[in-house]
Structure formats: structure tokens, C-alpha cells
Amino acid sequence: MMEEKIISRDDLLKICKDVIEKGHTLLSPGIAEYNVVKDVSQIKLDASALPTKTSYKSYVFPKAEPVLYYKRSKSDVQLIDVNVDGKNIIILGAKPCDTNSLNIMKHLFNWDYSDEFFNLREKHFITIGLMCSHYDEYCFCTSIGLSPVSEKGSDIFLIPLDKNNFALRIVTEKGKEFIEPYSEFLNTVDETLSRQVTENVKQPEVAFDCKEVHEWLGSNFENPKWEGIGNICLSCAQCAFVCPVCHCFDIVDEDYSYTEGRRMKNWDGCQFGNFTLHASGHNPRDIQSKRYRQRVNHKFRYYVDKFGEIFCTGCGRCSRGCPVSIDIKEIVSNCKD
Amino acid sequence: MNNIYMPHLAEIKEIIDESPDTRTFRLRFKDEDTSDSFEFKAGQFAEYSAFGDGESTFCIASSPTRKDFIECSFKVYGKVTQALYRLNKGDTIGIRGPYGNWFPLEDMKGKNLLFIAGGIGIAPVRCVIDNALDLRDDFKDIPIICGARSVSDIIYKQEIKEWKARSDLKTVITVDPGGETKSWDGEVGFVPAVVEKTAPPSDNTAVILCGPPVMIKFTMPVLTKLGFKDEDVYTTLENRMKCGLGKCGRCNIGNVYVCKDGPVFTYAQIKRLPQEF
């Protein structure tokens, strides 16, 4: 599939403008989050920016969404189904640590039962990734098999060649379909140019070996380390909410009148104390150390065993945002010590 | 769009007050096609909705061989079970399911079946008992041992009466010490002690054991002593669930999802799991 072209920043913005005018949703990273672009002058396309505080997960898997509406009369109930509108969403300038997120989540939302709320949105996602040229102490994409130049999950991948030009790699059929109408803006390019950039990009050092971590977790379900972390962790679950792949949710009913309401699927987090609390009062993960152990195991062991993929993209958001500076990279890197 | 979270509507056809805090609903789907096509196996569970309060997870307590209705039994504990308790005959609830695996009755053909149940754990066991009784010739001896905290806490009194009346079953009912009444003619003692006392033969026997974790914990050593193998003891795990579909992320024990890989496990399987349930 891989085909490489060159495109100028101005032409790229022209495409963006057209995309918006056609009524599609265009998302681009701001500082805190991926913003819906109303005016193309907002678009930064800055490869050296740090990851946004949150990923674009909420555009495929919203924080809160109704799965049905109900109306109660005397003893009858009427259910009203909901439909997800399959509107195209184009993400421009996503970090490589974000682009792979939907690929990872796909397994969970499709084993046996297919969650069409996720699937319909994911199907209409067009991901234009952007090489990443800046990392901080929390980044560890290289440790989990990604990199600042990974095209995994991107339909189109951009590499800045100079201030005004990008190498544009068409990675998937979906990407090709998207860019075809704009072929007038694409020119042939000497591919060594982009290779030079990607080969020289600064990369975070590999901090741990996933196989070793997987193995360690398998034999250290009981380990005093968990208690140590559990004593620090506040159970706030911000790590789950900023994570580009965490998918836990709750299902709750919300009445908005005596007779009507809706059933909501809301984000939830495995770090909350009542997450696994039984009605009887029994709680399998009753203390924080067990909940943190679940989080690390889920990411580096359970998901791997189940779906063959590490449940993490190495973006470092969970650690960057942690109010008590728990750093998952540090924990897994030093697990054996 | 296929909405996996959309329940079927069902009417409460009958309410049976089993004990002061436990009720059984006899339910029939409102849609005839669903009624005809709804198939499940003994041990599977469903998500039951009280609209406005949410969903709760219980096993299907009736036998799959009895097709006109399905039954569920629940003890009033949390928000949803309280809401269900407030409903009346003729009211509407939601049902999603069936989910999860089941007791492999087809593999137990030709064997003795030993049923041991405590408290509300009798609900999944009853489903298998009724199923086995409808296929009585497939199995050899069927001893049943049921325990409850007190005489008034015994549920399925009607079913127990019928089991006791049958000559091809051996039914023992016990209540915890102090839970007996003056006229109580059954056993007095905790389930593990009664199992030890009755000493059912372990030869060619599959055990179906459900009840509170503490009961299972103390019954297992007794069964081992009596010669039962861990892989012949079937039980269920009851982790908290929301979706029942392997997505919401709360019922896992290690990489096992109770909602999909369970709720039925052999004791041998449970022993291999991380001890976090």
C-alpha cells in the first residue's frame, strides 16, 4: 500500500478547509485535548508538541452515551432504540501513540459480541498521524513496540520535511480513498528525504522488555510492591480516564421524569473502590493495591494473553497526570528490583 | 444497528415470595417470537432491568426444559433488587441474555449427581436439578443437600416438597444451628458438616455446588476427604457485572472473564485462578 508524496502545509490546510466545508468533523490536537476544528488557522501540526492531556478516545467511546430510552406507563414499558450516526471524523496530526489506540480497543469491543456503538464510529474514522519529535520523561512508546515514527493505526502518515512541507505516506486503503480527490496537491518526492528525518528523530530509550514484564507479572501476583503502590495511590482513576485505550464502563439508568429516562453507558475506572463491590458488601478488589495490580496486569499480561496485544500505547498520560506521581514506566521497568 | 445493550421486555406473570427477603418472578417475554426463540442452558445468567434503577445479574432459575416461562429468584440487597421487589404482577421488566457458560449436563450422563446448595445459591442449582429431573433416566442417583440460615430463609419450599416426595431423589435440608424452629424436622448444622455426615459416595459422581464463598471454602475440604476430585466439582462465581458481554471490565479474575468464560467453573479451574474473587 505504502505510497509517499509531498504536500505543502498550505495545501494540507486547503484539504482541511474542504473537509470542514463538506460537513465532516475535523479534529486536531490542542493543548488539553483534540479539538473540533472550526477554522483551519487553529491547526498547528506541530510534531514537537507533547501529547494532549486526553486522547481522542471519547470520539469513538464517549464519556457518557445513552444506549436506550425508556418510557414507563402504569405497568408497561416502551423502549426506544438509539442509533449512532456514522459521520466521518478526520483526525489530523494524531501522535503515533494515539493512532494505534483504536486498533487495540477493537479486540475488546468485538470478541464474540460486537459493540456497534464503537464499531460504527471507528469505521468512519480517518486517522492522519504525524511523526512525533519530542518526548519527555514519561514517554515510553519504544518500550511497547511503537515509536515516534510508527504508522500503526494511521491511514495517512505525515512527516515534516521542513517548515512548510510534509512527506505524506498513504498507509491504508481508507487513507488512499480519502486523499484521492486531493491528488492535485500531492507531488512526487524523493523518499530518502523523509527517511533521513525518521532515522534521525529523537526516540525515548527502551525502558523495559514487555516479555519480561509479562513473565514477572505471572509469578508476582503476590508481591509487597503492590502494597507499596497501593499505599500511595489515591484511587482517583485519572489514569483510566486519560488513557487512550482504557475501556471500562458502567451501565446506569437516569430518570429525567417520573415516567421517562435513559440508560447510560458511562466511563468507569478499575481504580475506584466500588468498581467490583458486590451488593452483599463483598469486594474482590477491596484494597487499592489489588486494584493497581489489576491495572498493570490488565495492561501487560491479561490483554496480551487474551488478544495478543499490549493494552498500552506508551503515551505516558497516566503518569504525567497522576496527582501522586505514580509512574507506570518506572514501576514496570523496575519490577524485578 | 444491532444494539447489544437492548433488553427484551417481559411481563411478570407470577410472584412467589420465597422468604421474607427473596422473591421469584415467573416471566414471559412480551414478544412471542422472543418467547419461542429464547434458548438457554442450565447455569447461564441474564441481566434483568428495573427501568429507572438499572440492571442486575442473576442466573436463570428455571429449567431450560420448561419452555413457557423463565424464572429468576433474587434476594433484596441493592438498588436494583429493591426496585424489582417493588414491582407487581403484570408489570414489565427487561431481560438481556442468556450469557455465559453452563453446567455440562451432557457430559454428566450416566453419573450420579450430587447437588449442594446454600442460601440464594440454591437458585442456579435448582435450574440444574429441574433440568436433570426432566431427563431423569440419563442420571443415576441424585442426592440433594440444601442449607439455609434459618427455617424462614429456606427458599423454593414448594420445589423442595416435591423433591422430597420423589422416591428417586434423596433430599436433605439443613438450617444453621439456632435457625431451627420447634417443628423443624430437617437437619440442623452447617452445610459442610451435613455433607460430611451424609457422606454421599464419590464414585462416578459429578458435584454441583453453589452458595456463599464461605460455604464453598469449608465444603471443599470435606468433599476432598470423601474422595471427590476437584475437576468433578462444578460451582459458579458471582462477580459483579454490568454488561454480561465481556466489555465493561469488572468481572475478570486474571484473564478469565466470569461473564463469558464462566460463571460455571470446576473447582480445579478455580484453584488455578489468581485468588482474587
Is the pLDDT at A237 greater than 80? The verdict is: yes
Please tell me whether residues B18 and B86 are part of one structural domain: yes
pLDDT class of A337 with cuts at 50, 70, 90: confident
Question: Does the beta carbon of A250 lie under 8 angstroms from any beta carbon of chain B?
Answer: yes
Please tell me whether residues B56 and B157 are part of one structural domain: no
**The domain containing residue B94 runs over which residues?**
8-99
pLDDT at B213: 84
pLDDT at A50: 86
Q: Is B268 within the bounds of a domain?
A: no
Average per-residue pLDDT in chain A? 94
Q: Is B178 within the bounds of a domain?
A: yes
pLDDT tens digits, A165-224:
999 999 999 999 999 999 999 999 888 999 999 999 999 999 999 999 999 999 999 999
CB atoms within 10 A of CB A251: 20
Rounded Cα distance, B152 and A217, in Å? 47
pLDDT tens digits, B11-34:
999 999 999 999 999 999 999 999
pLDDT class of A31 with cuts at 50, 70, 90: confident
Contacts of B254 in chain A (CB under 8 A): 297, 302
Mean pLDDT value of segment B192-199: 94
Beta strands B170-175 and B187-188, pairing class: parallel
Q: Is B269 within the bounds of a domain?
A: no
Contacts of B274 in chain A (CB under 8 A): 221
Distances in whole angstroms, Cα of residue B181 to Cα of each of B150, B161, B177: 8, 18, 10
Query: In chain A, positions 73-92, which contact chain B (CB-CB < 8 Å)?
Result: 75-77, 79, 81-84
Per-residue burial over B69-90, b if 16 or more Cβ lie within 10 Å, else e, is: bbbbbbbbbbebbebbbebeee
Out of A84, A117, A302, whose CB is closest to B254?
A302
What lies within 8 Å, CB to CB, of A278 at 6+ separation is A284, B238, B239, B240
Rounded Cα distance, A93 and A300, in Å? 27
Q: Which three cell numbers stand for residue A213?
A: 514484564
Please tell me whether residues B80 and B153 are part of one structural domain: no
Distances in whole angstroms, Cα of residue A131 to Cα of each of A16, A33, A69, A101, A153: 18, 18, 43, 16, 13
Q: Is B78 within the bounds of a domain?
A: yes
CATH number assigned to the domain comprising residue B81: 2.40.30.10
Q: Is B244 within the bounds of a domain?
A: no
Gap from B96 CA to chain A (nearest CA, Å):
13
Q: Which three cell numbers stand for residue B169?
A: 431423589
CB atoms within 10 A of CB B9: 20
Question: Does the beta carbon of B20 lie under 8 angstroms from any beta carbon of chain A?
Answer: no
Please tell me whether residues B138 and B202 are part of one structural domain: yes
Distances in whole angstroms, Cα of residue B76 to Cα of each of A55, B71, B242, B254: 41, 16, 18, 29
- Quick check: helix, strand or coil at residue A42? helix
Query: In chain B, positions 56-75, which contact chain A (CB-CB < 8 Å)?
Result: 56
What lies within 8 Å, CB to CB, of A61 at 6+ separation is A105, A117, A118, A121, A247, A249, A267
Percent of chain A with pLDDT over 90: 90
- Find the residue in A nearest to B251 (Cα): A276
Contacts of A306 in chain B (CB under 8 A): 255
- Residues A249, B94: C-beta atoms closer than 8 Å: no
- Residues A263, B2: C-beta atoms closer than 8 Å: no
pLDDT class of B59 with cuts at 50, 70, 90: very high
Please tell me whether residues B157 and B81 are part of one structural domain: no
A137: DSSP letter? T
Please tell me whether residues B74 and B143 are part of one structural domain: no
Please tell me whether residues B207 and B184 are part of one structural domain: yes
Helix (H) or strand (E) holding B27: strand B22-29
Question: Does the beta carbon of B202 lie under 8 angstroms from any beta carbon of chain A?
Answer: no
Domain termination site, one of B39, B66, B99: B99
- Please name the residue that has the C-alpha cell 522488555: A209
Domain termination site, one of B99, B122, B149: B99
Contacts of B77 in chain A (CB under 8 A): 279-280
Vertex B261: Cα angle to B240 and B11 (nearest 5): 60
Domain termination site, one of B74, B99, B124: B99
Gap from A319 CA to chain B (nearest CA, Å):
21
- Find the residue in B nearest to A74 (Cα): B91
Gap from A116 CA to chain B (nearest CA, Å):
7
As for how many domains chain B has, the answer is: 2
Question: Does the beta carbon of B250 lie under 8 angstroms from any beta carbon of chain A?
Answer: yes
Mean pLDDT value of segment A71-93: 92
- Residues A115, B242: C-beta atoms closer than 8 Å: no
Mutate to test the interface with B, among A61, A69, A71, A79 (most CBs of B within 10 A): A79
pLDDT at A275: 95
Is the pLDDT at A1 greater than 70? The verdict is: no
pLDDT tens digits, A254-300:
999 999 999 999 999 999 999 999 988 889 999 999 999 999 999 99
CATH number assigned to the domain comprising residue B220: 3.40.50.80
